[in-house]
């Protein structure tokens, strides 16, 4: 029996920031409202960096395979069919599961740091912040 192997991505919440970090971030937030101490790359940019080869293969190769398969020239139809079969296999043979897992990881990471920043903004002091983080 064949198995499909794929990568699972999990976001683990980091330890709570220290009081020194809290004070530094809180001070900067009070001075600059747009300050973001946790800059993150965009979700789709991160996705592209992680799955660059698959994305190129599917979005560039897929249409080329379709064009080749529709030419009615024997060898080009075969090449297009093989390419299309490989693209289909790459997506449904573990690539899609890994992609969804990675997107879930990115969304959870972004949500955590957004929530952390909001809690720093609304907290009165470090002890209040720790209570909010529970």
Ordered DSSP codes for 43-102 = HHHHHHHHSHHHHHHHHTHHHHHHHHHTS--HHHHHHHHHHHHHHHHHIIIIIHHHHHHH
pLDDT in tens, 34-56: 888 887 667 777 777 777 777 77
16 or 99: whose pLDDT is higher? Answer: 16
In this model, does residue 134 exceed pLDDT 70? yes
Global confidence as pTM: 0.68
pLDDT of 90 reads 65
Domain boundaries, the chain: 40-133
pLDDT in tens, 53-87: 777 777 777 787 778 777 778 888 888 878 777 77
């Amino acid at each position: 029996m064949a198995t499909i192997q794929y990568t699972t991505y999990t976001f683990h919440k980091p330890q709570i920031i220290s009081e020194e970090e809290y004070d530094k971030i809180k001070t900067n937030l009070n001075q600059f409202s747009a300050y973001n101490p946790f800059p993150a790359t965009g979700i789709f940019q991160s996705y592209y960096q992680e799955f660059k080869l698959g994305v190129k293969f599917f979005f560039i190769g897929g249409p080329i395979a379709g064009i080749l398969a529709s030419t009615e020239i024997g060898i080009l139809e075969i090449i297009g069919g093989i390419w299309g079969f490989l693209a289909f296999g790459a997506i449904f043979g573990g690539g899609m599961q890994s992609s969804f897992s990675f997107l879930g990881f990115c969304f959870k990471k972004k949500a955590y740091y957004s929530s952390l920043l909001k809690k720093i903004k609304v907290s009165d002091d470090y002890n209040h912040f720790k209570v909010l983080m529970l």
